[in-house]
């Protein structure tokens, strides 16, 4: 049943270039949402499913962004190749760094991920010869135009780039679905709920946690490439500690651990300033307060609230035979 809703939503989004034709800023917003949602899905896998709270996630998006920037601009690679390389670099970095981080627990783990995020940012900001430093890496191209027979599909125009962004977002969600509804996903869920128990059932928890961290950071890298190809510039300011915190916020408000959570969080994040007509700062104040309220009163986030509302409108068919727990 949720499949129907999902397909409808996808259809609406896919047709956006037509119904939003008169308001290009809507398409711009949707592209931004896609750019945010890809790393958010990665963080959702790590945090929501695996229970790993990483406060340095955008540092890995930065790795992907800058690897792609250097490859596309300095080495003239294609977008496709750059995406693979970016994901590989970000994923490998994430896997290795996570091995260090897993020596710590609880708060310590979070603080160490924060520290790594800051170290990565420092490199982006200061390794001028490669990253062009604080001024940013300009001149990043849109993906090269694709040829279909006689047609040439260029990614310059917004609707065309939107198609690419939407496709990448869908791929990220597909990957999330594959992970969650699999043995790997179930083992992750077990690790999140009770790591000692998972170990006693034969799960090599260190390997599994490293694997999900690597997958999550690879997705962050993918998001980074999409972002800098969209903006045509890579700047360290996009990958700071505050951006990593924004990412956590998107995942939590959307509903950590739910499949649609990242989408809800990202859409709210981009739509709120438009809906409320507020300055950037007040929007973020509201987000911050929203995050606090959600942790206090609705820990499952928007997805949890929607699920509750859904159940009120369409009560589920009872799956258990008579005599189920009241």
Enumerate residues 79-138 that contact another protein by CB under 8 A.
100, 103-108, 110-112, 114-116, 118-119, 122-123, 125-126
Nearer to another protein, 44 or 246 (CB): 246
Contact (Cβ atoms closer than 8 angstroms) between residue 6 and residue 16: no
Nearer to another protein, 163 or 278 (CB): 278
Contact (Cβ atoms closer than 8 angstroms) between residue 265 and residue 301: yes
What is the C-alpha separation between 231 and 256, in angstroms, rounded? 28
Of 31-39, 77-85, 260-268, 313-321, the segment contacting another protein by CB under 8 A is 313-321
Among 207, 237, 276, 309, binds another protein (CB under 8 A): 207
Q: Decide: is 214 part of the binding site for another protein (CB under 8 A).
A: no
Contact (Cβ atoms closer than 8 angstroms) between residue 16 and residue 161: no
Site string for another protein, 150-189 (x = CB under 8 A): ----------------------------xx--xxxxxx-x
Site string for another protein, 257-296 (x = CB under 8 A): ----------------------x-xxxxxxxxxxxx--xx
Residue 207 CA neighbour count, 13 Å, CB half: 7
Q: Decide: is 315 part of the binding site for another protein (CB under 8 A).
A: no
What is the 8-class DSSP label of residue 236? G
24-43 vs 261-276: helix crossing angle, rounded to 10? 140
Q: Which two tokens stand for residue 294?
A: 């959600």
Among 22, 129, 317, 319, binds another protein (CB under 8 A): 319
Contact (Cβ atoms closer than 8 angstroms) between residue 179 and residue 215: yes
Among 20, 40, 140, 248, binds another protein (CB under 8 A): 248
Distance of closest approach, residue 172 Cβ to another protein, in angstroms: 14
Among 41, 234, 249, 259, binds another protein (CB under 8 A): 249
Q: Which two tokens stand for residue 162?
A: 């939107």
Q: Decide: is 44 part of the binding site for another protein (CB under 8 A).
A: no
Nearer to another protein, 60 or 208 (CB): 208
Q: What are phi and psi of 75, to 5 degrees?
A: -110, 5
Distances (CA, A) of 86 to 8, 49, 81, 83, 211: 32, 24, 9, 5, 17
């Amino acid at each position: 049943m949720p499949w129907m809703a999902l397909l409808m939503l996808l259809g609406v989004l896919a047709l956006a270039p037509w119904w939003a034709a008169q308001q290009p800023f809507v398409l711009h917003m949707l592209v931004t949402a896609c750019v945010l949602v890809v790393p958010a899905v990665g963080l959702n896998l790590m945090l929501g499913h695996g229970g790993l709270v990483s406060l340095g996630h955008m540092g890995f998006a930065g790795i992907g962004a800058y690897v792609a920037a250097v490859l596309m601009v300095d080495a003239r690679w294609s977008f496709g190749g750059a995406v693979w390389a970016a994901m590989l670099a970000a994923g490998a970095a994430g896997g290795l760094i996570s091995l260090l981080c897993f020596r710590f627990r609880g708060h310590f783990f979070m603080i160490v991920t924060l520290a790594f995020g800051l170290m990565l940012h420092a490199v982006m900001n200061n390794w001028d010869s490669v990253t062009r430093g604080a001024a940013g890496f300009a001149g990043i191209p849109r993906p090269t135009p694709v040829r279909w027979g006689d047609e040439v599909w260029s990614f310059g125009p917004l609707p065309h780039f939107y198609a690419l962004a939407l496709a990448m977002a869908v791929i990220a969600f597909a990957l999330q679905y594959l992970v969650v509804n699999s043995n790997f996903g179930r083992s992750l869920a077990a690790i999140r709920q009770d790591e000692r128990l998972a170990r006693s059932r034969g799960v090599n928890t260190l390997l599994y946690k490293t694997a999900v961290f690597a997958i999550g950071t690879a997705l962050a890298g993918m998001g980074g490439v999409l972002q800098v190809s969209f903006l045509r510039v890579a700047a360290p300011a996009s990958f700071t500690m505050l951006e990593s915190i924004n990412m956590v916020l998107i995942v939590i408000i959307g509903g950590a651990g739910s499949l649609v959570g990242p989408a809800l969080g990202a859409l709210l994040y981009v739509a709120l300033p438009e809906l409320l007509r507020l300055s950037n700062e007040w929007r973020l104040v509201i987000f911050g307060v929203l995050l606090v309220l959600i942790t206090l009163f609705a820990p499952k986030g928007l997805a949890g609230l929607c699920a509750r509302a859904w159940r009120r409108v369409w009560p589920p068919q009872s799956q258990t035979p008579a005599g189920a727990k009241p």
